[in-house]
Structure formats: structure tokens, C-alpha cells
Amino acid sequence: MVNQEDPRVLRTRQFIRAAFRDLLRRKGFDAITIKDIAQKATINRATFYAHFEDKYALLDEVTELAFDAMIPEQVAQAQAFTEDICDRLILATHRYIVDFYRNCRMDSHSMATLVDEKIKKMLQQTIARIFLKGDLPHGADKHRIQIMAAMTGSAIYGAAHFWLNVEEKDRTDVLVDLVRPYVMNGLGPYRHGDG
């Protein structure tokens, strides 16, 4: 494929992502064509295919970058899964979902599903990375840790998503106070690597 460091490549990919984000704001995912993206990005349609297999791959990348941008510095650097880190993850996830539903026309169920899956996966990876950084408690093999991360990520994501349709939806503090103890208790001895 293309050389990811070539300045032309960097620029072209930025154009494509920006065009796509822009289009998502006024059109549903299904309604967006490759031609639309190429036109708005002022690149040739063939060039699009030099960088992305299709618009699903583009959605994947855009989602991932947006998630990375949303993760606070403290979480990215965290050495242990503390209550503070947990809170930040909950809030960041919630904010991501809110922004996402506000900015994108959601006529497409397929897109919502894809983004759901992607974000859950990113969350789980982020959590697993933190778990693996701490000293592992006795008997915690890598496999078991990844399951714990998967459950934790799913729980956080599920709760944050559910919170969209709740009366108290603006009370993110309530959300945090509900999710944090659930997750931390569920983790039990795994959380700090000091159990």
C-alpha cells in the first residue's frame, strides 16, 4: 500500500476523514457515497480506494481516532485501575456516546452497531492495558484478565448508553456513582494488583 509517512498521504487521509465527519453531520451513513466523500475531500474517487477498503473501514478509523482523542491523559498513562481512573473512563465513554448521537444522523442501524462494537472493543483494550501494567495478583493469568476487561468495558459502555434515555440523563454524577461501585466490586482483587 501507500507509505503512511509520506506528507501527501497524511494530508489525503486527513481530507478524507474531515469530509466524512462533515458528511455524517448532515447525512446518514448509508446515504453517504464514496463519490460524496471524494468530492468533499477534493480528491479523486480512485484515491479513496488507495487508502480505505470501503466506507466501513473509514468509519472504523474515524471512530478509533475519535475515541483516542476522548480518552483523558490520566487514563492513557494510568498504572493501575483506581476509582479515579474508573470514573474518568465512565465519563469519557458517556461523553463520547452523547457527542456521537448529537453529531451524526442515525438513520442507519448498521452504523450504530458498528460504532457500538468498535467502542466497546477500544474500551476493553484500554482497560486490559491498565490491568496488565499493574503487578498481577496471584493466579491472574492473561486470559482471565482479558475477560475481566471485557466485562468491565461492556458494563461501562452499556450503562453509559442506557443513560441516554433516562430521566436524569444530565446527572452524570449519578451514573458514575452507580457504575463505579458495581465495576470495582466486580473486579474485586484484580483491581490494583495489590490484592
Partner DNA sequence: GGATGAACGTTGCATAGGCAACACATTGTA
Partner DNA sequence: TACAATGTGTTGCCTATGCAACGTTCATCC
What does the binding site for DNA look like in residue numbers (CB under 7 A)?
Answer: 2-3, 5-9, 11-12, 33-35, 42-47, 49-51, 53-55
In angstroms, give the least distance from the CB of 43 to a copy of itself.
7
Residue 173 neighbours by CB under 8 Å, 6+ apart? none
**Helical (H) or strand (E) element with 137:** none
Binding at 50: pick from a copy of itself, DNA, none (beta carbon under 5-8 Å per type): DNA
- Residue closer to a copy of itself by CB (options 46, 143) is 46
- Residue closer to a copy of itself by CB (options 15, 190) is 15
C-alpha 66/C-alpha 96 separation (Å) is 8
In angstroms, give the least distance from the CB of 69 to a copy of itself.
20
CB 132 within 8 A of CB 142: yes
Binding at 121: pick from DNA, a copy of itself, none (beta carbon under 5-8 Å per type): none
Exposure pattern of 28-37 as b/e (b: 16+ CB <10 Å)?
ebeebeeebb
In angstroms, give the least distance from the CB of 21 to a copy of itself.
19
Q: Which candidate, 39, 23, 24, 32, places its Cα nearest to that of 55?
A: 32
- Residue closer to DNA by CB (options 44, 77) is 44
Binding at 18: pick from a copy of itself, DNA, none (beta carbon under 5-8 Å per type): none
In angstroms, give the least distance from the CB of 33 to a copy of itself.
19
**Helical (H) or strand (E) element with 60:** helix 55-70
Residues that bind a copy of itself (CB under 8 A): 7, 10-11, 42-44
The distance from CA 164 to its chain's CA centroid, rounded to whole angstroms, is: 17
C-alpha 187/C-alpha 95 separation (Å) is 24
- Residue closer to DNA by CB (options 35, 129) is 35
